[in-house]
Structure 1
């Protein structure tokens, strides 16, 4: 495609919006900026390589012209150009999840008065850790764990530039207010609103407003009155409990482990969800029913990721300990596959047993892990 074709098609440089919606593509735009900078390209240099005006590149990076408005064919061409000029493939692989994050932010902030449970992005796709962290990047300023660290030879930025796609305080407040409204509407919709409710509640846990903890606890109390056990009610309980750990309240999560993971179905759902959360199940999921199914995922890869979460300062440490224990109870042979991982696990188990930061149940499970590790040494 020639530069003239790109210009005349209106797709590569399209997507301009009114000033009131100027940050709708901020996450994807900032990722694009990082990708360009780490490839050693200037805005002008990339614009020349693409055959567009440098203001187009500026618009993409600022979010004023969302990359999601560029046609798929043209955006793939942009990615191939970046790759040809030395862009990190790991960064290019994150653009789809960044667009998902912008879709959530844009729909919640700019969706008008509609609170349709069926069409919100959080109602139609189960978000993984990477996609959830992409959204949180705009809410907390913390880069996603999947974002590669810059190398030592990454060019330094000149002048004052944002370090991330963090929304302004007023935008963050509006986002959380509207997300609460979606969660409430989804709660009244029952099982039909299950996915939106669960994911909206989890994201609300990033809200630092003084009343957030009480609001989440109230939703949890109402949800606890749901008598029947389904995959989505377990997922709700998990999201609510993990959200409350951000405020130092670990009792709901300990109760979740005690009650909801007390049978084989609960254990299977928990491990299936971890596999999806960490990206080991690469199929897109439109609801939470997959947690109760028989899934094929790499047990060794899941164990490595769970072992990394055996850190005493994590609020979800009791769930993490139980998940490692349950995985090894189901697949004890994993301990013999990777000696380095076994040593890492042994060190973390010993540290947690010495630290006294876990529940009595977790201590029993850690003792069992410690014994099993000794038997397999």
Structure 2
């Protein structure tokens, strides 16, 4: 490979996304054959997705329908890649894999410059506002608003909090509704900004004890954590009541090892674990090590504070089931 090509990829002068599909496929397989880390190669797709979203913010498409945030539901890996570019925090999946700094001046992360970052957040706020108007795209609004919450400047935080609270009417709806995904996104974004009450209200009012909402929550978590292989163009996949489109073990693994990353979402994690084991009671027999790790995590949570009474009851039930299998 020509050295100038590699330097172009690393500097961003020649984006990988501009390669021909066949050439990119060949490169991916060639790298694997040469001993590249399989996990890192597996993150190439979400990295390209994140690059496309950033590109659309810095050079917006002519029509909102062409925006990548309106074209597919992004998952956790894409969100982590975007956060890496916006905050400089490496994705958990790359823990221990980010190379040491090279000699001479070189970036330690794909962090956007201050000017580009400001332009991206301005674009996200403008996009979220435009998509919220009558006739706007609900998926575009939801995802643009969620990503805008990554801007922690005081002025931006005030705008985000106001925009999120403007959507709290969705949280008043009971059980499943066409606005359920918007309500969930609003509640989780507010929790990440330090206001956990809307998420607790969402679990009580719009999730617990409603079969359609419980199924939607499991479907969304499965997609978010990589249990659904195909990208989804809208939120319709959440309405599947059969729960057959994803692997339950993959979902259990993602929830188990994601508990330590989610101090603001622990109650949603707890309820989802309880719901998953209720829907698939055979799961604790699938992996002994996974069950032992989850048992340790639930024991630690039950021994500490910071969880709701509902979460404590549900985690106690989960822990009891796990103990019965170990």
1:242 maps to 2:182: no
Picking from 243, 253, 258, the partner of 2:199 is 253
Superposed CA deviations along residues 208-257 of structure 1, whole A, max 9, x for unmatched, are 11134433333333323358776651111111211122222111111111
CA contact (8 A) 1:101 1:132 kept: yes
CA contact (8 A) 1:179 1:200 kept: yes
Superposed CA deviations along residues 321-354 of structure 1, whole A, max 9, x for unmatched, are 1110111111122123323222222222221112
Q: Match of 1:64, SS?
A: coil
CA contact (8 A) 2:64 2:70 kept: yes
In the alignment, what sits opposite 1:325? 274
Please state how far the C-alpha of 1:197 moved relative to its aligned partner.
1.0
Please state how far the C-alpha of 1:281 moved relative to its aligned partner.
0.5
Residues 256-271 of structure 1 aligned to structure 2 (within 5 Å): 256-262=202-208, 263-271=210-218
CA contact (8 A) 1:134 1:144 kept: yes
1:105 maps to 2:54: yes
CA contact (8 A) 1:195 1:232 kept: no
TM-score, normalisation: structure 2 = 0.89
Please state how far the C-alpha of 1:125 moved relative to its aligned partner.
0.8
CA contact (8 A) 2:194 2:264 kept: yes
Structure 2: which 5+ runs fail to align?
Answer: none
CA contact (8 A) 2:191 2:265 kept: yes
Picking from 4, 7, 12, the partner of 1:63 is 12
Structure of greater Rg: 1
CA contact (8 A) 1:126 1:287 kept: yes
Q: Match of 2:169, SS?
A: coil
Q: Aligned partners of 2:73, 2:220: CA distance in 1, in Å?
A: 10
Alpha carbons of structure 1 residues 104 and 375: separation in structure 2 relative to 1, 3 Å: same
* Bigger mean CA offset, 138-147 vs 160-169: 138-147
In the alignment, what sits opposite 2:158? 214
Alpha carbons of structure 1 residues 111 and 307: separation in structure 2 relative to 1, 3 Å: same
* Bigger mean CA offset, 211-220 vs 200-209: 211-220
* Bigger mean CA offset, 348-357 vs 231-240: 231-240
Superposed CA deviations along residues 113-154 of structure 1, whole A, max 9, x for unmatched, are x5x331100000111111121122110112223336339xx7
Superposed CA deviations along residues 192-221 of structure 1, whole A, max 9, x for unmatched, are 511111111211121111134433333333
Picking from 96, 111, 122, the partner of 1:177 is 122
Q: CA RMSD in A?
A: 2.4
Q: Match of 1:166, SS?
A: coil
Alpha carbons of structure 1 residues 156 and 271: separation in structure 2 relative to 1, 3 Å: same
* Bigger mean CA offset, 223-232 vs 270-279: 223-232
In the alignment, what sits opposite 1:123? 70
In the alignment, what sits opposite 1:43? none
Structure 1: which 5+ runs fail to align?
Answer: 1-45, 48-53
CA contact (8 A) 2:207 2:213 kept: yes
Alpha carbons of structure 1 residues 237 and 134: separation in structure 2 relative to 1, 3 Å: same
In the alignment, what sits opposite 1:338? 287
Aligned residues: 321
Q: Match of 1:270, SS?
A: helix
CA contact (8 A) 2:17 2:48 kept: yes
Q: Aligned partners of 1:251, 1:217: CA distance in 2, in Å?
A: 14
